[in-house]
């Protein structure tokens, strides 16, 4: 029979440090924020692509922003997908405009979320830098000291 108690595998010291690092509150909060951000990004992408872009395109005369592009090299095509399928090098202005719209919408949404949270959780009152007034006992002792100093013969 073989004694297996002496064959235990030792964990390196850094494993415990890594485990403590991962379990810190701010790392877990960051991970949750990234996951929620990824989900929020897909919602914003759909909002821009499926709702705002068609509405803006309708307002400006039926322009599909995703098909605004300049062919730099290769055969010109009516749509961006066709140009890319043909292997043309394109400058995708409409795709960039969609990204700008998405950024503005995300920034606007974050602004309102932060504004709402700041109203729900007001900041604590600022701490005054002026020292607090002395306690009544200290004032009384000061008065006694002054009276004794006046009675002292010179």
Q: Model-level pTM? A: 0.51
CB-CB contact of 144 with 152 (8 Å):
no
CA distance 145 to 150: 9
Give the Cα-Cα-Cα angle 38, 25, 39 (nearest 5 degrees): 10
Domains and CATH numbers, the chain: 15-124 (1.10.1200.120)
Q: Name residues whose C-beta falls within 8 Å of residue 63's C-beta, 6 or more positions apart in sequence.
A: 57
- Tokens linked to 117: 């949270």
- Tokens linked to 2: 């073989």
Q: What is the pLDDT of residue 144?
A: 92
96-135, pLDDT tens digit by residue?
A: 988 888 788 878 877 887 888 888 887 777 777 788 889 9
Residue 91 has pLDDT above 90, yes or no: yes
User: Which candidate, 92, 63, 96, 72, places its Cα nearest to that of 80?
Assistant: 92
25-62, pLDDT tens digit by residue?
A: 777 788 888 888 888 888 877 887 788 778 877 887 87
- Rounded to 5 degrees, what are φ and ψ at 91? -100, 110
């Amino acid at each position: 029979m073989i004694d297996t108690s002496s064959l235990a595998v030792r964990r390196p010291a850094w494993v415990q440090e890594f485990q403590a690092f991962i379990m810190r509150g701010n790392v877990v909060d960051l991970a949750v924020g990234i996951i929620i951000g990824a989900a929020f990004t897909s919602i914003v992408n759909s909002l821009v692509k499926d709702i705002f872009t068609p509405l803006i395109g309708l307002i400006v005369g039926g322009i599909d922003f995703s098909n605004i592009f300049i062919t730099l090299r290769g055969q010109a095509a009516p749509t961006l997908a066709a140009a890319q399928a043909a292997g043309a090098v394109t400058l995708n202005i409409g795709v960039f405009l969609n990204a700008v719209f998405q950024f503005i919408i995300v920034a606007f949404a974050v602004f309102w979320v932060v504004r709402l949270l700041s109203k729900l959780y007001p900041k604590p009152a600022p701490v005054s830098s002026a020292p607090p007034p002395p306690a009544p006992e200290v004032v009384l002792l000061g008065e006694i000291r002054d009276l004794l100093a006046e009675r002292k013969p010179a």
